[in-house]
Structure 1
Amino acid sequence: MRRYFCENNMSKKYEFVPGDEITIAPGRTVKRIRALVAIATLGIVPGDLGGYVESEANLAQVSGNAWVSGDAQVSGDAWVSGNAQVYGDAWVSGNAQVYGDARVSGNAQVSGNAWVSGNAQVYGDARVSGNAQVSGNAQVYGDARVSGNAWVSGNAWVSGNAQVSGNAQVSGNAQVSGNAQVSGNAQVYGDARVSGNAQVYGNAWVSGNAWVSGNAWVSGDAQVSGDARVSGNAQVSGNAQVSGNAWVSGDAQVSGRGLIFWASIVGTENGTLTVYNAKDDTLLVTRGCFSGTVDEFLAKSAKVHDDRIKREYQLLIEVAASRIEAALAETAKPEDADTAKSR
């Protein structure tokens, strides 16, 4: 909703510069502003030129130290208030709001019904649109996109070509970067990272110090937490849980809680052995820098480990294989029953 003011010039913070305007649409212009008062916190003195606004309904005239500078533009029903700053070549339009101590700069654009508040920063070529909210100390930059009803808050960073959309939430100290996508009702929080071409969607959660990278997908009701790693072309879905120091990579396909097994403080380095299901229903193993099939791992173990360590790995893999086989059988039951009924 457009705001209307009835104030005398003595109370106003800025005025329009006659003749310095830019047409943004037929019948609509944004006009350069000029400071009428000093804003000490910004180093602004009376007479300093600011950026462009469409009307006084775009930038608070009296309260706060909000300012638009450079060639930045604020138009439509957008509102900049508090101590917020919009500068560089940034655009704020639609019904967007920038307030608190927020900063929008560079070539960034905030549009639609989006809000940027607190100490949040949106800069570079980033876009925040729809009903999205960026708050706290969050930063959205590079070519990142935050849209839909997504929230980015806390100390979270969204950068590169990353996209956060739908009802997704990125919070805490989480980082989403590269070409990563977080969508649906997904949540990424804590110190978690999502990078590369990874996707987190559905109702999935990634938290703790977990890292999802490469071309990995985490979806459904899956949870990745602790110090877990999901990388390569791995897919974690359904109600699967990957936590602790587990590491899932390669062509893994973990679609339920029972399709992964890990044991920590094993081997000569007291590391973590992770055994999980692959897309072709073979078993894969990750241990330290090794990632491959069970047979490949046992063959390597036979070469480098003594009999005790070798036997421990064999036993752990037997337990893992037994549990994963049972989980696969349990998963197949409903499908088999449906098949039988159809016959």
Structure 2
Amino acid sequence: MTSKENKKYVLLKDDTKKTWDGKTLYRVKALVAIGLLVSPGTLGGYIESEKNLSVSGNAWVSGNAEVYGNARVYGNAEVSGNARVYGNAEVSGNARVYGNAEVSGDAWVYGNAWVSGDARVYGNAWVSGDARVSKRTDIQWFTGVGSDQGTLTVFRQKDGSVFLIRGCFGGTLEEFKAAVQKTHGNNRYGQHYNMLIQSVEFWFNSGEEVSK
């Protein structure tokens, strides 16, 4: 089962599985070499339709991974293991989602970011750059903040530092503090952001794994 435009992989009608909400997913089979590790004939993971996995580039879904809904995997991205990507989520660039990780909602994982382990990325969260999210304590997000009621995403990078994304801003905690002071000072939004900054400092700089 493949479209005329898709010369990259085929969806196998006789190798399917059901998602928890009843969607039918089809295992993919490579028709050509994809990157360095996928040869023609290699069986991959499961997707709902071709809209979930780009028919060009080196993007791939492998193992028992599932991609469905309006979710998209493209560029050189890879989803593997028992990972799930669904909703309106996107995984692109050189990003990797694997293990038991889940990416859902309107979340976007891109760049060289890795999401693994039991991590959950959802809502409007963005994970980018060299981020390495391996557990739920590595990432937080706050919605309905700022004058436009947007989302603040906070995650730990592979070097242990904390990175924040809010709208067009992306930077370290100290850079975020400076941006908040410059833009809002001590007004209502500035005070709210400062409360969130205190929460971020507590969570990410405690030096301990926070129990469930």
1:297 paired with 2:176, answer yes
Q: Name the residue aligned to 1:241.
A: 120
Q: Name the residue aligned to 1:14.
A: none
Q: Name the residue aligned to 1:170.
A: 47
The answer to whether the 8 A contact 1:205-1:221 is kept is yes
Residues 197-276 of structure 1 aligned to structure 2 (within 5 Å)? 197-276=76-155
Identify unmatched segments of 5+ residues in structure 2. 15-25, 29-33
Measure, in 1, the Cα distance between the counterparts of 2:102 and 2:44: 17
The percent identity for this pair of structures is 47
> Once the 2 structures are TM-superposed, how far is the Cα of residue 166 of structure 1 from its aligned partner?
3.9
From the superposition, tell whether residues 273 and 279 of structure 1 become closer, same or farther in structure 2 (CA, over 3 Å): same
Please say which of residues 172-181 and 264-273 is displaced more in the overlay.
172-181
Q: Name the residue aligned to 1:126.
A: 8
From the superposition, tell whether residues 306 and 330 of structure 1 become closer, same or farther in structure 2 (CA, over 3 Å): closer
C-alpha offsets along residues 218-244 of structure 1, whole Å, 9 cap, x if unaligned? 111000000111111111110000011
From the superposition, tell whether residues 225 and 173 of structure 1 become closer, same or farther in structure 2 (CA, over 3 Å): farther
TM-score (norm 2): 0.78
> Once the 2 structures are TM-superposed, how far is the Cα of residue 323 of structure 1 from its aligned partner?
2.5
The answer to whether the 8 A contact 1:165-1:183 is kept is no
TM-score (norm 1): 0.50
Measure, in 2, the Cα distance between the counterparts of 1:290 and 1:280: 20
Measure, in 2, the Cα distance between the counterparts of 1:165 and 1:224: 25
Higher relative contact order (CA 8 A, sep 6+): 2
The answer to whether the 8 A contact 1:253-1:277 is kept is yes
From the superposition, tell whether residues 126 and 215 of structure 1 become closer, same or farther in structure 2 (CA, over 3 Å): closer
Q: Which of structures 1 and 2 has the bigger CA Rg?
A: 1
The answer to whether the 8 A contact 2:93-2:111 is kept is yes
Measure, in 1, the Cα distance between the counterparts of 2:87 and 2:161: 29
> Once the 2 structures are TM-superposed, how far is the Cα of residue 311 of structure 1 from its aligned partner?
2.5
Measure, in 1, the Cα distance between the counterparts of 2:6 and 2:133: 37
> Once the 2 structures are TM-superposed, how far is the Cα of residue 206 of structure 1 from its aligned partner?
0.5
From the superposition, tell whether residues 300 and 189 of structure 1 become closer, same or farther in structure 2 (CA, over 3 Å): same
Measure, in 2, the Cα distance between the counterparts of 1:165 and 1:301: 50
The answer to whether the 8 A contact 2:44-2:60 is kept is no
SS at match of 2:209: helix
From the superposition, tell whether residues 134 and 291 of structure 1 become closer, same or farther in structure 2 (CA, over 3 Å): farther
Q: 2:167 aligns with which of 285, 288, 302?
A: 288
What value does the CA root-mean-square deviation take over the aligned residues?
Answer: 2.7
The one-letter code matched in structure 1 to 2:109 is: V
Q: Name the residue aligned to 1:311.
A: 191
C-alpha offsets along residues 297-335 of structure 1, whole Å, 9 cap, x if unaligned? 221222122422222222212213323345x6228x9xx
The answer to whether the 8 A contact 2:65-2:79 is kept is yes
Measure, in 2, the Cα distance between the counterparts of 1:209 and 1:197: 19
> Once the 2 structures are TM-superposed, how far is the Cα of residue 196 of structure 1 from its aligned partner?
1.4
The answer to whether the 8 A contact 1:196-1:214 is kept is yes
Q: Name the residue aligned to 2:204.
A: 324
The answer to whether the 8 A contact 2:143-2:150 is kept is yes
Measure, in 2, the Cα distance between the counterparts of 1:180 and 1:121: 17
